[in-house]
Amino acid sequence: MQAVKSAVAKPRVFVTRHVPYILEQLRAANVDVEAFEREDVAIPRDELLARVSSCDGILCMLTDRIDGEVLASAGPNLKVVSTMSVGYNHIVVDDCRAQGVMIGFTPGVLDTSTAETAVALTFMAKRHAVASVNSAKTGDWGVWQPFQYCGTDVEGSTVGIVGLGRIGAKYARIMKDAFRCRILYSGPREKPEVAGPLGAQFCSLEELLGASDIVSVHCPLTQATRHLFNSDTLPRMKPSAVLVNTSRGPVVDQNALYDALVGKQLAAAGLDVTDPEPLPTDDKLFTLPNCTIFPHIGSATIKTRQAMADIAVRNVLAGVRGETLPHAV
Residues designated as active site? 296
Nearest alpha-carbon partner for 31 in 17, 13, 14, 18:
13
Q: How many CB atoms lie within 10 A of CB 107?
A: 16
Strand pairing report for 158-162 and 32-35: unpaired
Secondary structure (DSSP) of 191-247 = -HHHHHHHT-EE--HHHHHHH-SEEEE-PPP-TTTTT-BSTTTGGGS-TT-EEEE-S
**Cα distance from N-terminal residue to C-terminal residue, the chain:** 48
DSSP classification of residue 187: S
- Give the count of alpha carbons within 13 A of 15, CB side only: 26
Answer whether 65's CB lies under 8 Å from 95's CB.
no
Going through 36-142 in order, the beta strands assigned E by DSSP cover 57-60, 80-83, 102-104
Q: Determine the Cα–Cα distance for residues 329 and 327; give it in Å rounded to an integer.
A: 7
Bridge partners of 14? 34, 58
